[in-house]
Structure 1
Amino acid sequence: EEDDDDVDLFGSDDEEEDAEHARIREERLKEYAAKKAGKTKPAAKSIVTLDVKPWDDETDMKQLEANVRAIEKDGLVWGASTLVPIGFGIKKLQINLVVEDDKISLDELQEQIQEDEDHVQSSDIAAMQKL
């Protein structure tokens, strides 16, 4: 019979080898962390369809749209727009926009749009989708 008590099948015979493996693993973790830190995540964006409703059928919709588009903020991009009939000769402005979620508050944007009290009665978010 052979004596198998001396052999450690799962352990390491060499302490230096363990230290070397630990050093390599630490080095790789540092490289990975540096690589990960170097990559910037794309900003979370949303595409929004906003309905802007005028007071009446005599409201100058071109001026209303110009006033809305005049709002410029970092992280806000205005897109296509259309005038949609809602009844009694009144049309609402339906406008698309892309916002960076971290930079733009839609509530604040709507408040800013509604500050144009001569033209804007109200605004609603008709649709919203994450990009």
Structure 2
Amino acid sequence: DAEAARIRDERLKAYSDKKSKKPALIAKSSILLDVKPWDDETDMKEMEKLVRTIEMDGLLWGASKLVPVGYGINKLQIMCVIEDDKVSVDLLTEKIQEFEDFVQSVDIAAFNK
């Protein structure tokens, strides 16, 4: 029936127009990174400063704290929020590890979508 098909097409067009006006949701992830120093003599404040100098579109640094690991060594735990489409977690951890005078390793302690 041609009339029913025409009405259905109009409704589908109205629905798709309405749907296209909604803003697209930006997929974000919250990540808790463990940044480990070489030894107990590593300047942790300087290490945190260096980590926070990393700027990428879609990256937002959050709170941080020092967590005792043992033998007088602390690790830096730092939160960040990334936009999934813009920031690669692997690229971010590689950039942090480029501060090789301070950073021994970077681990992902928690990853929430």
Superposition TM-score tier, normalisation by shorter sequence: over 0.9
TM (normalized to structure 1)? 0.81
Pick from 68, 71, 74: which aligns with 2:54? 71
Does 2:98 correspond to 1:115? yes
Aligned-pair Cα RMSD in Å: 1.1
Aligned residue runs from structure 1 range 15-94, under 5 A:
18-94=1-77
Percent identity reads: 66
If asked which structure has higher relative contact order (CA below 8 Å, sep 6+), I would say: 2
TM (normalized to structure 2)? 0.94
Larger radius of gyration: 1
Indicate the structure with greater strand content. Answer: 2
Helix, strand or coil for the counterpart of 1:126?
strand
Structure 1 segments unaligned to the other structure (5+ residues): 1-17
| Structure 1 residue ranges, 4+ long, deviating more than 4 angstroms after superposition | none
Supply the distance in 1 between the matched residues of 2:58 and 2:88 (Cα, whole angstroms).
10
Give how far 1:102 is off. 1.4
Structure 2 segments unaligned to the other structure (5+ residues): none
